[in-house]
Amino acid sequence: MIRFTKHNAEQAADRLYRFYFGQMQDEICVTMGIPAPPEVAELPPLIDAEPDDDVVRERDPLSWKGLPLLLEMERRHIQRNLANPDDSLPSMVPVFHFENAIETAMLGGKVRFMGTRLHTFGDPLEPLIHGYEQFAWELPREENVWFQRYLDAYRFMVREADGEFALGFQAGISAMNFVVQLRGTEQAYADMHEEPDNLKRLLDYSIDFTVYLHGRVNEIAAAHNRRLYGDHPLAQLGANPAPRASVDAYSLCKPGTLREWGAEQLARFNRLTGGGDLHIHENSRHVIEDVVEIPGWRCVRFTDGPGRPRSFDIRHDLRRRMRNVPIGIRCRKEEFLQALAERTLPGNTLYTGFEAESLDEAREIMDKVRDYRAGSGRA
């Protein structure tokens, strides 16, 4: 029995399982926002406003100093979406605000954390690996304070969250993303020509490192997540979504680079963890043909940005290029509803990014979504 704090949790879990495991080839999934109910809308602000709330500066990361705040933010999100009929289940990654430098910090490197009051991210002060001959190739040591702060974020949520949401895993710093962090951007790419053997070893090590973290997180959070999923088969992913992966570092590389430098390692990670939930930015769509060859993706999500075609506008092309891999696309409500009526939404796709005007409208949309079967029409 599903125990998530959401009215339609069992239905959402059933649909998400079918989606992630390739059983919705002509069907679609949807996640959307709904207006906050009065009991949430009338709550006082989580923080008292300060003049520099939105100023990016050096700060202590929220995943260390702001865990109670992150917990309350997630609780409010859950309250807001308690009756939301969409295809989502409550989950969070408590270490998200450590992103981009925590791996360096866990290995003893020098980092700083930057951001606004409600969003922090890491920045290595210098490359950890100046020369491969000096690198110890060791996994994080127990006494490393940042390693323990990372694990403490999961311990806090397991202890305090009372089974309200699943705990996910951030696997974005793997393969060349890991190399860029530890070697510095320019040297990471130069290593393809100057240090190919050591680069291959570092790519392998990146997966050893990430799989080790995944295992340590599971020691803390797996039982917590299992209680939420009960005996539902979606539990095999560990959380919703699957471990969150990234190929951002390949945005600067020519097509085919991922195939040679990282595909083997990412496939190993997917195999060992049950599959990944990947995002591809609008400036990285040239990696699609490499990505689709890597087995184990549970969903590949596309982002949008200035200067590139919107993913919704090229949805049929993205769907074709991604073959049978489930994908996620952002869209506006009006265009989604029009394409839904015209049956021009490709199946095997998660549509997200819009908000219903009311709970009643959200229910009407989801009734149509669950009945939808992709036609042969194109926008």
Q: In what order do the strands lie in the sheet with 28-33?
A: 28-33, 349-355, 327-330, 297-302, 276-280, 244-246
- Coil, strand or helix: which one is 115? strand
Q: What is the DSSP string of 219-259?
A: HHHHHHHHHHHTT-GGGGGSSSSPPEEE-GGGGGS-TTHHH
Q: CATH number of the domain at 9-371, please?
A: 3.20.20.210
Closest CA to 359 of 19, 162, 85: 85
pLDDT band at 217 (very low <50, low <70, confident <90, very high): very high
Separation between Cα atoms, residue 291 and residue 287, nearest integer Å:
6
Residues 307-319: what's their mean pLDDT? 97
Residues 340-344: what's their mean pLDDT? 97
Residues 358-362: what's their mean pLDDT? 98
Note the pLDDT of residue 379: 45
Closest CA to 346 of 14, 87, 29: 29
Whole-angstrom CA distances from 12 to 18, 29, 35, 130, 222 are 10, 9, 19, 48, 20
Contact 40, 360 (CB under 8 A): no
pLDDT tens string 55-97: 999 999 999 999 999 999 999 999 999 999 999 999 999 999 9
pLDDT-above-90 percentage for the chain: 94
Residues 317-342: what's their mean pLDDT? 98
Q: Token pair of 293, please? A: 């060859």
On the question of pLDDT at 365 being above 50, the answer is yes
Residue ranges covered by each domain of the chain: 9-371
On the question of pLDDT at 252 being above 50, the answer is yes
Residues 133-150: what's their mean pLDDT? 97
pLDDT band at 376 (very low <50, low <70, confident <90, very high): low
On the question of pLDDT at 263 being above 90, the answer is yes
Q: What is the DSSP string of 300-350?
A: EEE---TTS--TTTTHHHHHHHTTTS-EEEE--HHHHHHHHHHT-S-SSEE
pLDDT tens string 98-110: 999 999 999 999 9
pLDDT tens string 146-204: 999 999 999 999 999 987 899 999 999 999 999 999 999 999 999 999 999 999 999 99
Note the pLDDT of residue 378: 55
Across the chain, mean pLDDT equals 95
